[in-house]
Structures are given as structure tokens and as C-alpha cells.
Amino acid sequence: MANPKKTLYQILGVTPEATAIDIGLAHEKKVAELARTIPPDPSGVALVQQAYEILSNQHRRAAYDSSLVTATEKLAAQQQAPDLELEPEETEDDDRSRKMRLLGMVGVMALVLVALFRPRTPPTPAPEPVAEAPKPAPPPPPKMRSGAEVLFDFNTSGGQILSYSMSGTATHVGVALEVELGQMITTCHALPAGEKLVVKVAGQMQAAELTIVDEQLDLCRLLVPGFNTPPLKLATEDARAGDKIHAITMNAKGEFASTEGTITQVRATPLGKVLEVSTPIAANSSGAGIFNEYGKLVGIATAPHAFGAGLNIALPVSWIAQMRSRTTPPK
């Protein structure tokens, strides 16, 4: 004998006396059970949903209850006619509505199943971290230079200034320093006007031409076109009192030497700060270089000068950038 068809209460697993809360809880429980069913049962989901919609609506539930026969009557009817199944009567509109709802629920369930079982795209792997470029090594500390090394640099980039008179007589008038390629600096006060100037470097004679005469700073610039040795390196920081120095001096025979000393004081003057050094500066060495312990030019020796009697003075290299042709203002 065929199994009797389940009522809506049996589909949800509740009794006809169940409250609205009992029906809601039973519906959630059935939906959860069907979601775990493998393979999925779309028709079971549709029946549970239909049972819940009818029994959770007060008026529809009352109409459904009135159409049910008692359990005794159903059993008696089945015994008399085993193939007879009693169902609540449905109108044509109810049947059409029920079918439409069933189709809608089946479609929704199919979409849910597709979403649950479709292949998942593997996550995009995170980009590998880019290795940072190694930082460049810090520059090595400046190397201290000996007096002999400083003298060697000077002998290739500095030398005597000779003045030739109309009669051809040569007179030593100072010392010049190459600070740019083919450009030399010296003090102005000993240079005679109108005479031909020649620079003697390492025994070689090169004609020189005055391009800037700054009488206020007592500095002159010479153009030496044929002079192409590497220029001397200039210090980028101001010298300070107590700094060690190498001073270039010249003896009566025109020979240069390097003497160690210190900057004893940085003196303020109306023109700016000048350097007082511990090494003697003779008049024939005016224009020679004063170098720091790293072999960089920090000053230009000057003698005689107007900065105080008995003082050994060097003009700072920072004055080179201030040079322009100008005469000494009248006193």
C-alpha cells in the first residue's frame, strides 16, 4: 500500500497545534537540514517553503485546516480505497499560484547551488617584494697631506711672477696660484703698471695678462693661456683659529718650501675676516698659498699689508668670488 501523502505540518515536522513561533523555528531547521543534503533536493526545499508560507499566514492556515480530514477519517478512507488520497481542495487559481511559486523557488535554489559549487578563482598572489638597491658607501674621510705633498702640488700649479721692463730687465714681483684652468690669482700691490708680466712655473715661462685688478681686496686675476696644469683645490669651508696649515714661502734664490704652522686668529676687518697665521710671510712670498692639513687652499699670503704691524696675514679664498675691477677708495 502506498504511503499516505504528508500534510504541511508533517513536512515542517510540527503538530497542528504549533504556534507561529514553532512554525518559524521548524522552517529554519528544515532549510538548514536541506542545505547540508548531498546531492541537493530542490523539490524538498520548494515543499518546505510552500508549507511555511501557508502555515505562517493566519488566514491561509485556517483555510488549510478546514480542508483537512481527521486522521481517523483519512485512515478509514484509505482502508476502503487504498488508492485514494485525500488532499485539501484547491481552486484553479490556487493551483496556478502554487505552481508559479514552486517554479520561482526552484530557480532561486538553482542560482544558490550554482554559486555554492562553481569553481573558485584562486586568489591573485601578492607581488614579491622588490629588493632595495644597496645604499652607496659613504665617501672616505679626507686624507691628510704632508708638507712635501702640498709643495709638490704648488710647484705644478703655482710659481713666480716676473715683470719685464722696456729694457728687458726681469724683476720678481710676487707669487701666483692657479685656481682655475689658465687663471691665476696673486696680490696686486707689487705689480708694476704697464710692464709685461710672465709666470714662471717649474722652470717654464708663460706670458700673463691682467684681467681683474681689485685694489680694494688687493687681489688680481691673471690670464695665462698656455698654462693647462690641474688647478689647486680650494677649501669649501672657512678656516678657523687653531687649524693646522702648510704655508708656501720662497727664499732669496727663488726656491719654494713648505712650512707647518697654525691659524692663530681670524681677524675682523672693514673688508671682511682675514687669517692671521703663525708662519712668517716675507714680501717676496706675497701671493703664495696657505693650505690646510688636507692640502686645500684656504688663503693667499700678503705682505706688506694694512691689517696691523708685525702680523702675518693671509686673505681668505672666499674673497676670490668677490673680485671685480675697482680702485682703492680715496681716504
**Residues 113-170 pLDDT 10s:** 555 556 556 667 777 777 777 888 888 888 999 999 999 999 888 989 999 887 778 8
Exposure string over 177-189, b if 16+ CB within 10 A, otherwise e:
bbbeeebbbbbbb
Q: 204-214 and 256-269 as β-strands: parallel, antiparallel, unpaired?
A: unpaired
Q: Specify the 3-state DSSP secondary structure of 137.
A: coil
Name which of 238, 237, 285, 243 is nearest 260 in CA terms: 243
> Strand locations in the chain, DSSP E?
158-164, 170-180, 183-187, 196-201, 204-214, 219-223, 244-250, 256-269, 272-277, 289-292, 297-302, 313-316
pLDDT above 50: residue 97:
yes
**Residue written as grid cell 513536512:** 11
Please name the residue ranges forming H helices in the chain. 8-12, 20-35, 42-55, 58-67, 71-80, 92-117, 147-157
- 316 bridge partner residues: 299
Mean pLDDT taken over the chain: 83
Q: Extract the C-alpha cell encoding 186.
A: 696673486
Say how far apart CA 215 and CA 328 lie, in whole Å.
Answer: 5
Is the pLDDT higher at 263 or at 72? 263
pLDDT at residue 86, as a whole number: 44
Calculate the dihedral angle through the C-alpha atoms of 309, 315, 316, 319, rounding to the nearest 10 degrees: 130
